[in-house]
Structure 1
Amino acid sequence: MSVIERHNTKQTGSGDTAMVFAHGFGCDQNMWRWVAPAFEVRYRTILFDHVGAGGSDLSAYDPAKYASLEGYADDVVELSRALGVERGIFVGHSVSAMVGILASKKAPELFESLVLVCPSPRYVDDGDYVGGFTRPQIDELLEFLDSNHMGWSQAMAPTIMGNTDRPELGEELTNSFCRTDPEIAKRFARTTFLADNRADLEGVTARCLVLQCSEDVIAPREVGEYVHRHLPGSELVLLDATGHCPNLSAPEATTAAIEAFLRGR
């Protein structure tokens, strides 16, 4: 199976510049369905599933490789090269924002611009750094997931999504979490929530847009401001949106912010 097939890759659009969309934990490429089509007129849009998610080849999942975000970044580099991406645009949601950072440093020629949607280089508080969670809270979260994947999904997804006045959004994320292979979900959660990629923000050469929601229990405003401060020349946009998934809850605002950033290329 080719790397393109392995990641259930879908290409649309006809532009010269490629625009690669990467989904977050417990999700798949379907989470971009309200955002990606807006860019098909000007860009070659590429959607894919991380190995272990969505329609990807689950047999390709290697626990050792994917024990760190480097494994996912290597996949992005391999896939992008196979698709002939050069000086493209990477749009990463949540944990995939850091995957994009790592990929851009491994292969700077691939992406001229990075759009980081609700990024977090570290979810655990550390001294003056505010990540949003204490280590005991993260340990409790992971223990809950280990013991009861379905219960964890039903409890956490609506909290992550926010927007309690629109319960259908939380239900969609719950269903997405529940479709994920439980063992892969447990491993990916550890890779995600225990990662510390703060040092990786140094030396990024791509133009960066940081999209931050006004209220986000997973990546609070302090995290977005930290990422912005440590990415020289980056732009920070505070979306009029709540929750951790503005690509679903506020696709118009998300799309408008990305379009404004790209017009300045």
Structure 2
Amino acid sequence: MPISNDVLTRNNVKVIGTGSKTLMLAHGFGCDQNMWRFIMPVLEKKFKIVLFDYVGSGSSDLSQYDKERYSGLEGYAKDIIEIGEALQLSDAIFIGHSVSSIIGTLASIEVPTLFSKMIMICPSPCFLNFPPDYLGGFEKQDLLELLNLMDKNYIGWANYLAPLVMGDNNPSELTGELSSSFCSTDPVVAKGFAKATFLSDYRHILKDIKQPTLIFQSKNDSLASPEIGRFINENITGSELEVVEADGHCLHMTHPEQITNSIFEYLNK
């Protein structure tokens, strides 16, 4: 069907690997599917893998960007649903990094048959502080200033955020790669995605996740603290939390072997 081809081109979808089970890997804000390359060699030996770029990221079709559609995470969830429909997926396993964990959750609630299990890497349902009940890590004013910096000095914004995301004690090449990835994203698209990511509150949807869920949390993460991991774990029935002795928000890049081992262990239960 033409619509399938349109969707697969729009989101630069690639299907690789072999196996009876399918994994869909969804990248985080400011990233693209290339960020999964550290865990791919192991996973593709056992699974069929679906990789894609959100509209406006990586090698997606930028002409398909719709400011209204992508003003909230629901628009990105629609991308995931449409990719699933185009590939006729059901009972796939979803692996989402950061905000994609929430995007995948929205998709799983909308189409419950799409995913049989969810795996979240450094997720956060809300980056805002609502003391004393919930501390997402940031005051709203600080996030608004960060968004304002995107308008004033986009390169400066990328160079500030990348080390924060990648974390201390990790290779500088990875921080540089992340900064370059931020810079290569169209600023209008990046700001829309940033607003949808950092100013939203999706805590209320966690209780609606019906799939078994594995949550990876970094012990030292400037964007999502271990407390957030515990909050998510407490609010998703049938979830497991694994706190990794690590710095940063990109465990699939900094600790690929540990992440792949844990994924295999979890999926083989």
TM-score (norm 2): 0.96
1:215-264, CA deviations, whole angstroms, 9 ceiling, x for partnerless residues? 00001111111111000110000112210011111111111121111111
Tell me the residue number matched to 2:108. Answer: 104
Structure 2: stretches of 5+ with no match in the other structure: none
- From 116, 122, 128, the counterpart of 2:126: 122
- From 225, 237, 251, the counterpart of 2:256: 251
Q: In the alignment, residue 63 of structure 2 is paired with which amino acid?
A: S
Tell me the residue number matched to 1:95. Answer: 99
Query: Quick check: 1:163–1:249 contact (8 Å CA) kept in 2?
Result: no
Q: Within 2, Cα distance between the matches of 1:113 and 1:165?
A: 30
Query: Quick check: 2:169–2:247 contact (8 Å CA) kept in 1?
Result: no
Change (3 A) 1:122 1:165: closer
Moved over 4 A (4+): none
Let me know the Cα RMSD of the aligned residues. Answer: 1.0
Q: Within 2, Cα distance between the matches of 1:6 and 1:165?
A: 33
Q: Given the alignment of the two structures, is residue 81 of structure 1 paired with residue 85 of structure 2, yes or no? A: yes
Tell me the residue number matched to 2:155. Answer: 150
Query: Quick check: 1:158–1:164 contact (8 Å CA) kept in 2?
Result: no
Query: Quick check: 1:117–1:212 contact (8 Å CA) kept in 2?
Result: yes
Q: How far has the Cα of 1:165 moved from its partner?
A: 5.0
Q: In the alignment, residue 30 of structure 1 is paired with which amino acid?
A: N
Q: Given the alignment of the two structures, is residue 54 of structure 1 paired with residue 58 of structure 2, yes or no? A: yes
Tell me the residue number matched to 1:178. Answer: 183
Residue pairs, 1:207-226, within 5 angstroms: 207-226=212-231
Q: Within 1, Cα distance between the matches of 2:68 and 2:23?
A: 29
Tell me the residue number matched to 2:172. Answer: 167
Structure 1: stretches of 5+ with no match in the other structure: none
Q: How far has the Cα of 1:52 moved from its partner?
A: 0.5
Q: Report SS of the residue matched to 1:2.
A: helix
Q: Within 1, Cα distance between the matches of 2:160 and 2:169?
A: 13
Q: In the alignment, residue 201 of structure 2 is paired with which amino acid?
A: D
Query: Quick check: 2:211–2:238 contact (8 Å CA) kept in 1?
Result: no
- From 127, 138, 142, the counterpart of 1:137: 142
Q: Within 2, Cα distance between the matches of 1:146 and 1:97?
A: 27
Q: How far has the Cα of 1:103 moved from its partner?
A: 0.5
Q: In the alignment, residue 55 of structure 2 is paired with which amino acid?
A: V
Query: Quick check: 1:122–1:131 contact (8 Å CA) kept in 2?
Result: yes
Q: Within 1, Cα distance between the matches of 2:105 and 2:182?
A: 24
1:19-53, CA deviations, whole angstroms, 9 ceiling, x for partnerless residues? 00000010000000011231212211010000010
Q: Given the alignment of the two structures, is residue 187 of structure 1 paired with residue 192 of structure 2, yes or no? A: yes
Q: Within 2, Cα distance between the matches of 1:3 and 1:263?
A: 32
Residue pairs, 1:235-246, within 5 angstroms: 235-246=240-251
Query: Quick check: 2:170–2:254 contact (8 Å CA) kept in 1?
Result: no
Query: Quick check: 1:211–1:238 contact (8 Å CA) kept in 2?
Result: yes
